[in-house]
Amino acid sequence: DSVQIIVNGTNRVRSHDLATGKPIWEVSGMTTNAIPSPLTHGGFAYVTSGYKGAAALAIPLDSKGDLGDGTGKVAWKYSKGTPYVPSPLLLNGRLYMTKGNTQLLTVLDAKSGKPILEDERLPKATSFYASPAAANGHVYLVDRNGTTVVLKDGDKPLVVSVNSLNDPIDASPVFSGKTLFLRGEKYLYAIAGSN
């Protein structure tokens, strides 16, 4: 098997062979201005877009050729609650994503594409450019006003804390060891964890 480079693009997702650059597969169905990065796990590529529409696809990595609109050739399709700028987070078989750039959270079962949560309003959050991140069984979502919503991962994700900084944040959170790094408009924050 060759290494694939998967590129999310306006109206179409393409996979290319890393060594040769030749196309392996492609599928339509994305919205225009597709920004979120594709994710792969367990033999599937998970691709989303959410500008002026919504699209999420689970594509078998062993696909070949033009899959058209994916009818019958992709594992599943989902057409609401997908992100515009942030990439989704895949954690323990669940895809976490915000609707458009809004504070509405959708969580899908990655295997079936069935919603676990749909349009769940995140408290005190406004809009998101940052992609969610995970550490120690928790999901961290940082909004554009500097508010971080922390969820406990699970079949029923629960809000465990909401923290605010007085600094706009568009960059995705990053973990190194037990430290959470947040890059605000003015400052870089290093928040040490205890466990």
With b for 16 or more beta-carbon neighbours within 10 A and e for fewer, the 83-114 pattern comes to bbbbbbbbbeebbbbbbbbbbbbbbbebeebe
Q: pLDDT, tens digit, for every residue of 47-86?
A: 999 999 999 999 999 999 999 988 889 999 999 999 999 9
Query: Across residues 163-189, what is the average pLDDT?
Result: 96
Q: What is the pLDDT of residues 137-161, one digit of tens each?
A: 999 999 999 999 999 999 999 999 9
72 contact partners, CB below 8 Å, separation of at least 6 = none
- Tokens encoding 194: 């205890």
- CB burial of residue 46 (10 Å; 0-12, 13-18, 19+): buried
pLDDT at 145: 97
Q: Among residues 77, 128, 57, which one has the least CA distance to residue 98?
A: 128
Query: Any idea of the CA torsion for 173, 174, 177, 178, to the nearest 10 degrees?
Result: -10
Q: What angle do CA 144, 146, 148 make, to 5 degrees?
A: 105
pTM value surpassing 0.75: yes
Mean pLDDT over 163-190 rounds to: 96
Mean pLDDT of the chain, nearest integer: 95
